Structure 1
Amino acid sequence: MWRNTLGFVLAAIAAAAALASVFFDWYGARDGRRFEWTELFTADGITADNASLFAGLFLPMLVAAALAVTAILLRSRLLMLLAGITALGITILWMVRQYQVTDSLVIGQNGLKWPVAVALGSGLLMLFSAGGMAGRHVREERAPVAEPRPRRGRFGRRAEPGEPYSRHPDYPEDEAGQVHQGPWPRDTQAPEPQPGEPTHETTRRGRHRHRRDAA
């Protein structure tokens, strides 16, 4: 949290400084807002013509400041990087084009002034703020995990801890967990029928004979 807060504060200070720097002398007695930003991309380079407010370097610095503010609101590292690159890139490009006109970049009364250093520092500070931001983390919504079904013991009742359980009440398992579908011990250990007592086979034959008689 402190990391994000520090990055936001530094980015806001850098955006305000970059925007305010163009209202002071950049070279000689000429404000930064008086340099036409389109001249940075032409073959003629920087001329002596003074530009209006939005035709000068105020416009690219305003774009950099707007990107920085948007990056703070959205916690976007990418937008903060773009803001820093815009402020730093425009300032460096202006210095290159100014050097092509004057063949020198002296620091002093008739040369570079401190607002140029402020613009450079603002761009670097935005890049530093982008590196210090934690970014925006999107929380993925996970589907609820179904609770495991309780273990069932023999004959469908709930199994006690440590008790072997059966997957199906009609197919009991032995101690090793193997399912036996028959013959089961209760079938092999069934008592033999007494003489004269109807067995399962005789009962079934009687049922079939009764059905034929009824038909």
Structure 2
Amino acid sequence: MVRNVIGSILALVGAAAAVWSPFRAWYDGRHGRDYRIADLFSGISGTKADLWISILLPFAFAALVTLVGLLLRSRLLVVLAGLIVLGFTILWMIRQGQAAGSLSVESDGSGLGPGVALAAGGGVLLLLAAVLMSGRRRAHEHDLDEVGPGHTWGRGHGRRRRGRGEPERHEEPYAGPGQPYEQRPYADDTRTAEYPRYDDRPGEPGPGPAGPDRPGPPHRG
């Protein structure tokens, strides 16, 4: 639970950083929203892009994938969002490096800007969040409970919790011959009734199938 909370917070921070990054300077004072998505594949140009065909679009899509992943508690979707952010950031750096000849960080702001750092940091936070998240528990794990009062063994899914309204069974250990039938373990459980039951009285046969060497119980009129 704690891991999911921490992972969710990191994922939200990472997604917010990625969406905010195109509104900051990326290179030589030029904002990320001014780069067209097509420039990442054909080469950086001086053409200013509209907002929704700029590099903001894949980052907004990654933020949407992050929200869906957090709602579904899916680590895979959060990882996918982080890879989208990092992938487009690295692709932009490659294209910008080809256009400028080299990438550098200058004190006068003529090199790489804070927008690139926000995008890269957001992608790393998304991947880190996916590692911290525990994800969804598998369906059969919800059926496993601690052994305690009111719990019985189920079939197929480990332990089964006693249902609402079902009386609690307190099983007494078998004390030996002479113990009343109703107090024996699983006396009312048909799963163990493979053979007829007999009273364990001295001189009478115990539980087992009747036969020539093991007669049945005496007739009681």
Q: Same fold (TM over 0.5)?
A: yes
Query: 4+ residue runs of structure 1 moved beyond 3 angstroms?
Result: 140-147, 156-160
- The match for 1:136 is 136
**Distance of aligned partners of 1:17 and 1:165 in 2 relative to their CA distance in 1, 3 Å threshold:** same
Q: CA deviation at 1:151?
A: 5.8
Is structure 2 residue 129 aligned with structure 1 residue 87? no
- The match for 2:208 is 166
- The match for 1:71 is 69
Q: CA deviation at 1:159?
A: 5.7
CA–CA separation in structure 2 for the residues paired with 1:12 and 1:173: 77
| SS of residue paired to 1:148 | helix
- The match for 2:33 is 33
Alpha-carbon displacement from aligned partner over 1:98-131 (angstroms, at most 9, x marks no partner): 0000001121211101121111011011011111
- The match for 2:170 is none
Aligned AA (1:126): L
**Distance of aligned partners of 1:116 and 1:138 in 2 relative to their CA distance in 1, 3 Å threshold:** same
Question: How many pairs are equivalent?
Answer: 167
**Distance of aligned partners of 1:172 and 1:102 in 2 relative to their CA distance in 1, 3 Å threshold:** farther
Is structure 2 residue 166 aligned with structure 1 residue 123? no
Aligned AA (2:208): S
CA–CA separation in structure 2 for the residues paired with 1:23 and 1:122: 14
Alpha-carbon displacement from aligned partner over 1:51-77 (angstroms, at most 9, x marks no partner): 001110010100111111111111111
Calculate the TM-score normalised by the size of structure 2. 0.69
Q: CA deviation at 1:89?
A: 0.7
Which stretches in structure 2 are left out of the alignment for 5+ residues? 144-152, 156-188, 216-221
CA–CA separation in structure 2 for the residues paired with 1:147 and 1:100: 79
CA–CA separation in structure 2 for the residues paired with 1:158 and 1:101: 95
- The match for 1:22 is 22
Larger Rg belongs to: 1
Q: Find the partner of 1:149 among 179, 192, 196.
A: 192
CA–CA separation in structure 2 for the residues paired with 1:17 and 1:100: 26
* Greater per-residue helix proportion: 1
Which stretches in structure 1 are left out of the alignment for 5+ residues? 175-179, 181-215
- The match for 2:101 is 103
